[in-house]
Amino acid sequence: LFGFKTNKVSGYFEPIQASKEDQLLLPKGYRYDVVAAFDDVINAAGEKFGQGSDYNAYFPIDGSNTRGLLVNNHEYTNIFALGPVKDGKKSKEQTDKDLYYQGMSVIEVFQDDKGTWKMDTTSKHARRINGFTKFEFTGPAKGSAILKNASTAQGTFANCSGGVTLWNTVLSCEENFSELATEAGLPLTHYGWVVEIDPFDGSFLKKHTALGRFNHENTAMGLTADGRVVVYMGDDKKDACVYKFVTKGKYVPASGRQNSELLADGTLYVANLKSGKWVAVTYEALSKVIGDAKFKAPAGVKGTREELQRMFQSQADVVTNVHEAALILGGTPTDRPEDVEISPFDNTVFISHTNNDNHGNIHGHITRIFEKGNDLGATEFDFEIFIAGGRQSGFSSPDNLAFDSNGNLWVVTDISTSSMHKGVHTSFMNNGLFVVPTHGAAKAQAMQFASAPTDAELTGPFFTPDERTLFLSVQHPGENTTDLAKPTSLWPHRQGDTKARCGVVAISGFKLG
Ligand code: FEO
Ligand code: CA
Ligand code: CA
Ligand code: CA
């Protein structure tokens, strides 16, 4: 038996074996309830739960560990929402469905007296946020020419992972936004941002441009030694960089949600893994570099010096085209940086580098950053490869991360369905969830805790405050389906159902320590 201890519960489990079953498998003694699945009605208005469930965040109601609001991201849609797409071209009706089923859901969940987690569709807070919801821009690009002078945007979509703020709101990350924005005729520069919502207040909807526009995976928020807010972020592309944003002002706990205004003003840094320095991505620094007549664009940046000078004329332009600015300023291209988490145990920063077949990094790795002086506001750092994917560790392609309060890292994997069960991915079988202690005797040893159904990946692990329930999304079961009459998965196997439904489960069985 493998033991893990959070600060609240002790767990012992027999690690499960890799599997090809169309089931969500857990160790003996643990169980799950499906709290919401694609297309379920979530409220009295009849709004439907979206597709492509990813990030989860649980907010207790009146401090409860058994009743709260659950925020879930909806990253993308597939054949089960849209039906077959003819000749790769969606109809107007399909594009509207796409805008509807992406975005986010806020639902109310509770555990009944038999211990079963359910959704409460009578909730006054339950609502959808999607491609039609109006958001307000903040920060340097708000109202700028590159946003077509807009101070608001239509909707959010491609919402991948996210993070909770110190003031109890959710940051949700727009990742692969360009396809739907193009199909819906929406301006590309209005997407690819970090958005903020307040689960308890439907009128609070922001897009924070100071945090930059790229293929945002997630956010991880902490505090610098002098009390400013820091937000770590991954840009999930091959050969893309790791970022952190540090606010200008200091966090004031008593000000609650007003602290959100801090996210409008600060410095965006990119990691240079060779010098061990966080490099400020500013218009001032960039214009100096491209102002030099001898300047030549580095690999990964297209355009002549003159073209780049036209592209970058203000900080608004820099935050809207961060990837190119960051590479020019010396940011290190890395292997698909996805989730980032700050260890509650020792303040080190863990980054999932999922994989990058451009460089033969087939199974990915988890990088650990040590900020100088253990200060998240430092501009210098050192790093190590904490654990590498592959046969030795037993997992491939790490993606979302979550820490429990004792510093165990909960890691889900994202082997793409085009690679799964083939070649060097064969032995890993379906995607899974692994527990990896970051200190102690079992440090950096991965034990499998869950196995996903067919074609699915597990996403968005998130514990209740008492750590007795783990929320987890099951994303894209059956995504290889091309004929609706022959779905490759029927998870969650509801009686009489004919399609696979992504959704969120509540895992219980954790014992008090
Ligand atoms: Fe949406 Fe990078 O995973
Ligand atoms: Ca991901
Ligand atoms: Ca995470
Ligand atoms: Ca993914």
- Residue 506 placed within a domain: yes
From the centroid of its chain, how far is CA 436?
19
pLDDT in the model for residue 512: 73
pLDDT at 288 over 80: yes
Q: Quote the strand ranges of 49-180, DSSP E.
A: 53-60, 67-74, 103-111, 117-119, 127-129, 134-138, 152-154, 159-164, 170-174
Its domain, for residue 464, covers: 2-281+329-512
Q: What is the position in ligand 1's atom list of the atom closest to the CA of 215?
A: 2
pLDDT at 57 over 80: yes
Q: What is the length of the chain?
A: 513
Show the tokens assigned to 21: 């079953």
What secondary structure letter does DSSP report for 6?
-
Q: Are 473 and 53 in contact (CB under 8 A)?
A: yes
How many whole angstroms from 441 Cα to the centroid of ligand 1? 32
**Unique residue bearing structure tokens 């207790």:** 60
Q: What is the position in ligand 1's atom list of the atom closest to the CA of 354?
A: 2
How many whole angstroms from 460 Cα to the centroid of ligand 2? 9
How many whole angstroms from 296 Cα to the centroid of ligand 2? 33
* CATH value at residue 223: 2.120.10.30
Backbone angles phi, psi at 394, to 5 degrees: 95, 0
> Helices H, strands E: what count in the chain?
7, 33
pLDDT at 1 over 90: no
- Residue 294 placed within a domain: no
**pLDDT tens-place string over residues 103-137:** 999 999 999 999 999 999 999 999 999 999 999 99
Residues with CB under 6 A from ligand 1: 75, 160, 175, 217, 236, 338
- Residue 316 placed within a domain: no
How many whole angstroms from 454 Cα to the centroid of ligand 3? 23
**pLDDT tens-place string over residues 177-199:** 999 999 999 999 999 999 999 99
What is 242-303 written as a DSSP string? EEEEEEEEEP-GGGGGGGGGGGGSEEEEEEETTTTEEEE--HHHHHHHHHSTT--PPTT--S
pLDDT in the model for residue 486: 98
pLDDT in the model for residue 4: 87
What secondary structure letter does DSSP report for 510?
P
Mean pLDDT across the stretch 372-387? 98
Show the tokens assigned to 59: 């907010």
> Which residues neighbour ligand 4 (ion) by CB within 5 Å?
414
Question: 513 pLDDT band (50/70/90 cuts)?
Answer: low
**pLDDT tens-place string over residues 451-488:** 999 999 999 999 999 999 999 999 999 999 999 999 99
**pLDDT tens-place string over residues 231-268:** 999 999 999 999 999 999 999 999 999 999 999 999 99
Q: Helix or strand or coil: residue 316?
A: helix
pLDDT at 499 over 90: yes
What is the Cβ-side half-sphere exposure of residue 497, based on CA atoms within 13 angstroms? 17
From the centroid of its chain, how far is CA 475?
12
What is 191-208 written as a DSSP string? SSSEEEEETTEEEEEEEE
CA distance 243 to 241: 7
What secondary structure letter does DSSP report for 51?
S
Mean pLDDT across the stretch 274-290? 98
Q: What is the position in ligand 1's atom list of the atom closest to the CA of 338?
A: 2
Total number of domains constituting the chain: 1
How many whole angstroms from 424 Cα to the centroid of ligand 4? 19
pLDDT in the model for residue 270: 99
Residues 6+ apart with CB under 8 A from 440: none
Asked whether the whole model's pTM tops 0.80, one would answer: yes
How many whole angstroms from 295 Cα to the centroid of ligand 2? 35
- Residue 19 placed within a domain: yes
Closest residue to atom 1 of ligand 1, CA basis: 160
- Answer left, alpha or beta for residue 498, where phi above 0 means left and psi between -120 and 50 means alpha: alpha
- Residue 299 placed within a domain: no
- Residue 190 placed within a domain: yes
CA distance 367 to 449: 22
- Residue 301 placed within a domain: no
How many whole angstroms from 195 Cα to the centroid of ligand 3? 16
- Residue 320 placed within a domain: no
Q: What is the position in ligand 1's atom list of the atom closest to the CA of 75?
A: 1
How many whole angstroms from 82 Cα to the centroid of ligand 3? 29
Please state, for a pLDDT cut of 70, what percent of the chain lies above it. Answer: 100
How many whole angstroms from 175 Cα to the centroid of ligand 3? 15
CA distance 385 to 335: 12
What is the Cβ-side half-sphere exposure of residue 358, based on CA atoms within 13 angstroms? 11
Q: What is the position in ligand 1's atom list of the atom closest to the CA of 158?
A: 1
ipTM exceeds 0.95, yes or no: no
How many whole angstroms from 217 Cα to the centroid of ligand 1? 6
The strand pairing partners of 41, in sequence order, are 48
Q: Are 324 and 332 in contact (CB under 8 A)?
A: no
Show the tokens assigned to 349: 């920063």
Q: Are strands 170-174 and 194-198 parallel, antiparallel or unpaired?
A: antiparallel
Q: What is the position in ligand 1's atom list of the atom closest to the CA of 160?
A: 1
Q: Quote the strand ranges of 16-77, DSSP E.
A: 31-37, 53-60, 67-74
* Amino acid letter for position 303: G
pLDDT at 351 over 90: yes
Average pLDDT over all residues of the chain: 97
Please state, for a pLDDT cut of 90, what percent of the chain lies above it. Answer: 97
Q: What is the position in ligand 1's atom list of the atom closest to the CA of 176?
A: 1
Report how far apart the first and last C-alpha atoms of the chain are (Å, whole number): 16
CA distance 467 to 10: 10
Q: Helix or strand or coil: residue 323?
A: helix
Show the tokens assigned to 167: 């003031």
